Amino acid sequence: MSGFPGVFDLADAAAYGRWRDSKLSRAARSVADLVVEVQDIAHLSDAEHAALAGRVAHSGMAVYAEPPKAGRDDKAALRALAGRFGLAGLDSNHLADDDGVTPLSVHRDGIRSRYIPYTERPIAWHTDGYYNPPERTVRALLLHCARPAAQGGANRLMDHEILYILLRDEDPELIRVLMAPDAMTIPGNDEDGMQRPATTGPVFSVDGLGNLHMRYTARTRSIEWSEAARPAADAIRRLLETPSPFIFEHVLQPGQGLVSNNPLHTREPFADDSARPRLLYRARFHDRIQDQS
Ligand SMILES: [Fe+2]
């Protein structure tokens, strides 16, 4: 957001207008705009790094594509990639391996089988960490695909800054209610059996550096919207269900991955081949990939 002070201040329509026009003129309009071919994510060249960083700056995300590397330690490579983007504050959860990089694959039994990420079921639009307390806000998200599913398993993706624009252009009041500190509550101890306290907070917030964060889930069970925010929640749902050149759909292929500032995303349902099960690695960070452009 550097160079655009006041962008997210509803009283500063001029600053918002300049940022909006710049954003819409540079944002990706297809998955192809996001993809960068790289040789090795553990050792990005300066040009590869710049190409990925530019896409993250303009579109909130980029997709790298490296030649599949048999026998390589993908988790170590993903950590090296994170380090290159200045990401150090890994968010570990109680199901992640000790190093904070989570292998995502189908678990047919055991504790993980109770959580949607470890099933073949679809995951509705959300940003990661929407149930986290503020000190564990997830600002960056990396995914690496070791093996895709036999069928399905696409991610739909949308830069939350674009959604902000669509909402504010429709009615700035929608933004005002979504920035209220009581907009959305995730009750503690939800039906997944996860033991956690309730978290109440805004959907849109702006950090000390002027960056916009979005905390969101489209799920309807175990979510409490403030009375004032309900029309805005409906507007978000409608916009995410409306075809848009800014909503991308992509199945990560072997050696491909997502470098992002935790945009809105889904996971579509998939069918696994147990002989070659889907395997993605996920890393979440409390820091954001800074705009270096
Ligand atoms: Fe997610």
| Neighbouring residues of the ion ligand 1, judged by CB less than 5 Å | 128
Rounded distance between C-alpha atoms, residue 164 and residue 30, angstroms: 19
CATH tag, 25-285: 3.60.130.10
Q: Phi/psi class of residue 249: alpha, beta or left (left: φ > 0; alpha: ψ in -120 to 50)?
A: beta
The Å distance, Cα 18 to ligand 1 centre, comes to 31
pLDDT at 100: 79
Could you tell me what percentage of the chain is helix, strand and coil, using 3-state DSSP and rounding each to the nearest 5? 30, 25, 50
Structure tokens at 262: 């935790």
Determine which helix (DSSP H) or strand (DSSP E) holds 77, and give its type and residue range.
helix 74-84
Digitized pLDDT (tens) for each residue of the chain, 293 residues in all: 445 678 999 999 999 999 999 999 999 999 999 999 999 999 999 999 999 999 999 999 999 999 988 889 999 999 999 999 999 877 776 555 557 798 998 888 787 777 788 888 899 999 999 988 888 999 999 999 999 999 999 999 999 999 999 999 999 999 999 999 999 999 886 555 557 788 999 999 999 889 999 999 999 888 999 999 999 999 999 999 999 999 999 999 999 999 999 999 999 998 999 899 999 999 999 999 988 65
The Å distance, Cα 222 to ligand 1 centre, comes to 17
Query: 102, 235 in Cβ contact below 8 A?
Result: no
Residue carrying structure tokens 């990396």: 142
pLDDT at 2: 47
- Domain spans of the chain? 25-285
The Å distance, Cα 266 to ligand 1 centre, comes to 7
Rounded distance between C-alpha atoms, residue 97 and residue 279, angstroms: 14
* Alpha carbon 148 to its chain's center: 19
The Å distance, Cα 96 to ligand 1 centre, comes to 14
Query: 18, 24 in Cβ contact below 8 A?
Result: no
pLDDT at 93: 64
The Å distance, Cα 257 to ligand 1 centre, comes to 14
- C-alpha angle 107/159/272, rounded to 5°? 20
pLDDT at 107: 83
